[in-house]
Amino acid sequence: MECTPNRARKRQERKSGIFTDRYIKSLKPESKIYQVREGRGFAIRILPSGVKSWYYVYAVDGKRRQMCLGNYPDVSLEEAHEKFRKAVDLVKSGVDPLGKQAEPEPIAAEPAILTVTDLKKLYIEHAKSYLVPRSVVQQTRTLDQDVIPVMGNKTAAEIRRKDAIALVEEVAKRAPGQARNVIKTARAMFSFAHDRELVEANPFARVGRAVPSTAPKSRERTLSASEIKHIWEVLGKSEIGRAILMILITAQRPGEISGMAWGEIMVGVGKARCQVCRRCGWWTIPSERTKTKNGDHRIYLTDLTLSLLPAQYDDHVYPANGRGRGAEATGGMRPATMSHFLTDNKYFGLPRWTPHDLRRTARTEMSALEVPERHAEAVLNHKQTGVKKVYDRHKYDKQKESALKKWTDHLKKLLA
């Protein structure tokens, strides 16, 4: 989702009424870049190449700002309006939605001398402000391993789409999964550069479409009743194994399970489950730890789920070193630890399966138990689509509790 370059002096501005998809599609490229405004600073720019980009034009402290909201049709009219409204609310509250992005980088005055290595240093410093440390380390490793050796000495502005495709194709021959990491990280880095007008375009935009071998393979694996009984017996003997079983019983993502902290769980202290405050018996995953980033996500903890929790440690339920005390304890267990545990034990005698397959199994079984689709999707914290995500703000706590109780009762019968 990369936007067209900002050439305010060269573009022509026109005003239109309320935008519609039909109208946006009717806008044709011309010899020069031009912009059409809907009003209140919401606009779309059309490049001679035919690329159409949404923009929000506003002022902070008397200074003009221009915020790119994405390209059409990758970002639909509805999505662009939603981003625009959020940005307007921030400006009204005195916050610049671009934040530090509005600050000019010292090197931006001479983009021609900016090498990819220089860009990587700028980007990693920027990434530290919004990514968790683990992601910063992963992105740094990806750039140092596969991007810098090939492109490091080239100027960032001279990197073209064909260069990006050639790099990704070469990495994909060795490891398709790593090729996807290269696309994701390099695309984010060049997006950072493009937003600051250090480059004219993002050469890694849509590269995945040009290299089909990087597409992740769709998985359909679910575990049968006999396989569930088998893994429950063998995985229940170790802490890592019980963490993996938590994916099955709660239907949450492996990364959310591995990062579970005791501070996120409310189960009461030395007494029966609280029936008054209605907070006991719930696990609240903070919004920043969820994939959807759509507010805190609450999961009801059934008695069978509580039986899988280990003895309490200092912070994390599943510490990185498996003990949770001492200098070596550095946060929660890595999700990859679960996958390695299965491969090291040869999937415990079953055909290849992954931790995520347990989440898919739970969702499939909920359908078999006639749990309403929306309730099951709420348990999995899947993002709603279309107008539902705008108007349906219900948290579905009672429905999630009912769905997880029904799923737990089914597991108990199966295991008995």
Give DSSP secondary structure letters for 101-112. Answer: GGSPPGGGG-GG
**Residue 192 near residue 126 (C-beta atoms within 8 A):** yes
pLDDT recorded at residue 153: 92
Report CA torsion sign: 9, 15, 18, 20: negative
Q: Are residues 82 and 199 in the same domain?
A: no
Query: 268 and 362, same structural domain?
Result: yes
Distance, CA of 315 to CA of 180 (rounded, Å): 33
CATH code (residue 128): 1.10.150.130
CB 3 within 8 A of CB 70: yes
pLDDT the model gives residue 115: 92
Closest CA to 47 of 71, 69, 67: 71
Per-residue DSSP letter, 54: E
Q: What is the DSSP-derived secondary structure letter of residue 45?
A: E
| Tokens encoding 408 | 């737990």
Q: Is residue 3 part of a domain?
A: no
Angle of helix 397-415 versus helix 225-235 axis, rounded to 10: 90
Which one has a higher pLDDT value, 341 or 99? 341
- DSSP for residue 402: H
Do both 379 and 251 map to the same domain?
yes
What are the backbone angles phi and psi of residue 266, rounded to the nearest 5°? -120, 105
Contact 355, 254 (CB under 8 A): yes
Whether residue 4 lies inside any domain: the answer is no
Q: Sorting pLDDT into bands at 50, 70 and 90, what band is 276?
A: very low
Residues 302 and 380 in one domain: yes
Q: From edge to edge, which strands make up the β-sheet containing 282-285?
A: 265-266, 282-285, 297-300
* Residue 293 and residue 379 in one domain: yes
Tally Cβ neighbours within 10 Å of residue 213.
11
Check whether residue 173 and residue 294 sit in a common domain: no
Which residue, of 59, 75, 99, is where some domain finishes? 99
pLDDT score for 360: 94
Poorest-pLDDT segment among 10-14, 90-94, 231-235:
10-14
Final residue belonging to a domain, choices 214, 236, 266:
214
Question: What is the domain-level CATH number for residue 52?
Answer: 3.30.160.390
- Give residue 133's region: left, alpha or beta (phi > 0; psi -120 to 50): alpha
Query: Residues with Cβ < 8 Å from 415, sequence gap 6 or more?
Result: 228, 229, 232
Comparing 267 with 328, the larger pLDDT belongs to 267
Q: Is residue 71 within 8 Å of 83, Cβ to Cβ?
A: no
Q: What is the pLDDT of residue 75?
A: 85
Number of domains the chain is built from: 3
Q: What pLDDT shows up at residue 218?
A: 59
Asked whether residue 4 carries a pLDDT value surpassing 70, the answer given is no
In this structure, are 396 and 256 located in the same domain?
yes
Binned at pLDDT 50, 70 and 90, residue 105 comes out as: very low
pLDDT at 217: 65
With both helix axes pointing from N to C terminus, report the angle between 225-235 and 239-250 in degrees, rounded to the nearest 10: 150
Give residue 108's Cα distance to chain centre. Answer: 29
CATH of residue 348's domain is: 1.10.443.10
C-alpha R_g of the chain: 25
Q: Predicted confidence band at 256 (pLDDT cuts at 50, 70, 90)?
A: very high
Whether 194 and 202 have beta carbons less than 8 Å apart is answered as yes
Mean pLDDT score of the chain = 82
Which of 112-121, 274-283, 313-322 has maximum average pLDDT? 112-121
Summarised one tens digit per residue, pLDDT across range 394-413 is 778 999 999 999 999 999 99
DSSP code for 261: B
DSSP calls for 85-129? HHHHHHHHTT--TTGGGGSPPGGGG-GGG-BHHHHHHHHHHHHTT
Domain assignment of residue 175, given as a range: 106-214
Q: Do 87 and 97 meet the contact criterion of CB atoms below 8 Å apart? A: yes
258 lies in some domain: yes
Last residue of a domain, one of 67, 83, 99: 99
